[in-house]
Amino acid sequence: MKESSTHQAIVEEGVVRGRVEAMRSTLLRQGRLRFGPPTEFAQSAIQAIDNLEKLEQLTERLLTASSWQELLRDV
């Protein structure tokens, strides 16, 4: 049985939301290891990002940033 396009869109949206949540969690976890506990601003800023591409860019920047502030300078 073929799934409806509406059902497929709902499933895809759920997958994207799951990836966004996973990326946020990864940024916060790895950032803690690199910079220490996140500031309230850093935590709020990361939780507010819902663009998967932006989160992926931040995970790459995490490799070269020296602080939460530097990591989130363009957010």
Q: Residue 22 and residue 25: Cα distance in Å, rounded? A: 5
Mean pLDDT of the chain: 90
Q: Residue 63 and residue 61: Cα distance in Å, rounded? A: 5
CA atoms within 13 A on the CB side of 43: 7
pLDDT in tens, 37-48: 999 999 999 999
The region of weakest confidence among 1-5, 16-20, 68-72 is 1-5
What is the amino acid identity at position 72?
L
Instruction: Specify the pLDDT at position 4.
Output: 78
What is the amino acid identity at position 50?
D
User: Smallest Cα–Cα separation from 72: which of 56, 58, 53, 54?
Assistant: 58
Token pair recorded at residue 8? 């497929």
pLDDT surpasses 70 at 1: no
